[in-house]
Amino acid sequence: MAGRVPQDDDIPVTSRSPDASLTQDDSFLATSRAGLVYPWGDAGPVGGQTIAIAPGIRWARVPMPGSLGHVNTWLLDDHNDFAIVDTGLCLRLCSDGWKALMAEDLAGQQASRIICTHLHPDHIGLAGWLAKKYDAKIWMTRGEMLTARMLLGDMAEAVPDEVIMQWRSAGWSTEQVDQAKKAGWRRFQASVYPLPRGYVRMVDGDVLDMGQHQWRVVTGSGHSPEHACLWNEKQGVLVSGDQVLPRISSNVSVSVQEPDADPLGEWLDSIDKLLNVIPADVITCPAHGEPFKGLHVRLRALRDEHRMRLYNLAEAIADKPMRAVDSFSYLFNRTITDEHLGLATGEALAHLKRLEVEGRVRREMADDVCWYHPAT
């Protein structure tokens, strides 16, 4: 990896982006976490320290601002070195967390590769920085890397017209649109350290040979384009990233990059895939929260809660047509403020698109606003 060793000045102390725009991990959809077992309780590793999950698998936490408070990073023995899974945001708070790890539990050790489960900034934000620090390559799926490249290459400073049209069609008021425009654009770039031009591609079904440990790549979609989970069958451990979280549901949204996509359909298909591929008794190591047992219980809860919300929403639309913003009370168990309006709108559009694909609703445009009606 060519280039100078990164310095502190390369990492911003604060971000101009609001918390909600940084991660896109936390959904506004409440789901049940009943039936899960937390072998390590509800406490995690503190600064500079790691916790052993199984032979060759360590757990560390990178602090982050905002409601989530952290992203878990997983350190996997890789021959005589270790691989890093997920990195934190490009913020001084996060890089300081890594420096504490480098000075304490990781002192004198070498990272062999930087694996990113998916493209959201709390997962790839410091990947380029760590790649330079350790002279290591970044490993990602093609769908995640190319989408990240597309977002990083978007040089628009003002909010694009397509985004404003999506907001208005969802039913945003003029005041809400104007307020969102003031936040600006290019927030993704602000929270991701520059990535090297090259990377190593991971493909679903690949087995990553790490000496005594073999990790199979299992991909999912819906939360992001081609999210990579890592499964160590011998140790009975699944590194799930955001594809399975124990205490929150992952955000599943329609994006302006793919306005006609069906991410919730992809998400539900991915749940079925994990139920069929991964055993129920694995230790699941998520990106947020604590390692847990009860994978299939959690997957079924995620699937069933989404299905119930779809049913409730279809029943409500049968009584009266609605816009995306009108659906919030049928989907979410909390009030949506302007700070979270964008993410909530994306989730609402994902649920409405799924109903449309299933033939349960139809949409019509009236004065640039999209209204959803019963299909018949």
Give the pLDDT score at 3.
Answer: 46
Q: Is residue 1, in this structure, part of any structural domain at all?
A: no
Is-contact 34 296, C-beta < 8 A?
A: no
Least confident of 20-24, 94-98, 195-199, 263-267: 20-24
Q: Is residue 90, in this structure, part of any structural domain at all?
A: yes
Average of per-residue pLDDT across 140-158: 92
Q: Is residue 2, in this structure, part of any structural domain at all?
A: no
Q: Is residue 212, in this structure, part of any structural domain at all?
A: yes
Structural domain of 305: 8-374
Cβ atoms within 10 Å of 309's Cβ, excluding its own: 21
Q: Is residue 341, in this structure, part of any structural domain at all?
A: yes
Q: Is residue 3, in this structure, part of any structural domain at all?
A: no
Rounded to whole angstroms, the Cα distance separating 37 from 275 reads: 18
Q: Between 164 and 8, name the one with better pLDDT.
A: 164
Give the pLDDT score at 30.
Answer: 46
Q: Is residue 205, in this structure, part of any structural domain at all?
A: yes
Write down the residue that tokens 């549901």 correspond to: 249
Give the pLDDT score at 31.
Answer: 52
Give the pLDDT score at 6.
Answer: 58
Q: Above pLDDT 90, what percent of the chain?
A: 82
Is residue 239 scored above 90 in pLDDT?
A: yes
Rounded to whole angstroms, the Cα distance separating 61 from 46 reads: 7
Rounded to whole angstroms, the Cα distance separating 89 from 193 reads: 8
Q: Provide the domain count of the chain.
A: 1
Least confident of 42-51, 54-63, 227-236: 42-51
Give the pLDDT score at 14.
Answer: 63
Six token digits for residue 220: 């999912």
Q: Above pLDDT 70, what percent of the chain?
A: 92
Give the pLDDT score at 23.
Answer: 46
Q: Between 18 and 222, name the one with better pLDDT.
A: 222
Average of per-residue pLDDT across 77-88: 97
Least confident of 64-68, 301-305, 343-347: 64-68
In this predicted model, what pLDDT tens digit does every residue of 273-300 receive, in sequence order? Answer: 999 999 999 999 999 999 999 999 999 9
Is residue 207 scored above 90 in pLDDT?
A: yes
Check which CATH number belongs to the domain holding 189 and give it. 3.60.15.10
Six token digits for residue 286: 């998520």
Average of per-residue pLDDT across 314-333: 96
Average of per-residue pLDDT across 346-356: 98
Give the pLDDT score at 8.
Answer: 61
Give the pLDDT score at 2.
Answer: 43
Provide CB contacts within 8 A for 137, sequence distance 6+.
1, 113, 114, 131, 196, 198, 199, 200
In this predicted model, what pLDDT tens digit does every residue of 3-54 receive, in sequence order? Answer: 445 566 578 776 544 333 444 444 555 455 678 999 999 889 998 999 999 9
Give the pLDDT score at 203.
Answer: 98
Write down the residue that tokens 């698998």 correspond to: 57
Global pTM value = 0.92
Q: Is residue 308, in this structure, part of any structural domain at all?
A: yes
Give the pLDDT score at 236.
Answer: 98
Is residue 83 scored above 50 in pLDDT?
A: yes
Is residue 1 scored above 80 in pLDDT?
A: no
